[in-house]
Every structure is written in C-alpha cells, then in structure tokens.
C-alpha cells in the first residue's frame, strides 16, 4: 500500500473513485478553507483524534489532510499502528488550495 500521495495523485484518485478523507485540521483552518464536501469527509481535530478512533472504520482507506501535511505524516504512522488503512496527502490543505488556484 502507498503511504503518501502528492496532491496531483490525490486529485486523480478523487476524480476516478470514491475516497474517504480524514480532515485533521484545527477548527480555525477548516473555517478558512473547506476541502471537498460530501459524506466522504470526516472532520476530527488532530488533537482529538486519539480519543475518537471509534468513529473510524478499519475497513476503509482514509486520505489524511492537515493544513500543510507535516502533522498528517506523523498521524498516519500512529493510525497504521492502530490498524487503520491511511494515506498521507503531501502538502495537505495548502497544496489542495494551491492546486485549485492553478
């Protein structure tokens, strides 16, 4: 399994299949810019995630977003150790926003 994808790879996947997004940004960042909308987006603040693992499904693959992608890489390692299938999106929401602007 691939553990990280670039924003370009993520956008290709999102265009061709249904994907699950785990938005780990703090509320002030979510308010400033919203990722893809829809039922496939789960928003849990990074600091709250260890207490909310029961809200996630181990049979799904989650694409992790933080604001800049640095903290999602660390959280991806944690979640994999907990038995979840996760992929870090390199550059996070900032890369996504830049992609949309280009």
Percent of residues, the chain, with pLDDT higher than 90: 55
**Which one is predicted more confidently, 72 or 36?**
72
Residues 21, 100 contacting (CB under 8 angstroms): no
Q: Is the pLDDT of residue 73 over 90?
A: no
Cα-based distances in Å from 89 to 36, 54, 65: 14, 22, 6
Report how far Cα 64 is from the mean position of its chain's Cα atoms.
2
Q: Is the pLDDT of residue 78 over 60?
A: yes
pTM over 0.85: yes
Give me the sheet containing 61-65, strands edge to edge.
4-5, 85-89, 61-65, 20-23, 41-43
Percent of residues, the chain, with pLDDT higher than 70: 86
Collapse the DSSP code of 16 into the 3-class scheme (helix H, G, I; strand E, B; otherwise coil) and give the result.
helix
The dihedral through the CA atoms of 60, 71, 4, 91 has a sign that is: positive
Q: Note the maximum CA span of the chain.
A: 37
The structure tokens listed for 50 are 């260890």
Residues 57, 51 contacting (CB under 8 angstroms): no
- The tens digit of pLDDT for each residue in 5-43 reads 999 999 999 888 889 999 998 876 555 556 665 558 888
Chain mean pLDDT for the chain: 87
Confidence category of residue 49, pLDDT binned at 50, 70, 90: very high
């Amino acid at each position: 399994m691939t553990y990280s994808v670039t924003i370009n790879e993520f956008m290709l996947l999102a265009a061709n299949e249904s994907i699950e997004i785990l938005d780990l940004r703090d509320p002030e960042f979510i308010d400033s810019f919203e990722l893809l909308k829809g039922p496939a987006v789960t928003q849990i603040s990074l600091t709250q995630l260890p207490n909310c693992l029961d809200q996630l499904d181990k049979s799904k693959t989650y694409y992790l977003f933080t604001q800049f992608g640095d903290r999602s890489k660390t959280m991806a390692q944690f979640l994999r150790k907990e038995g979840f299938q996760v992929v870090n999106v390199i550059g996070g929401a900032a890369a996504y926003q830049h992609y949309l602007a280009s």
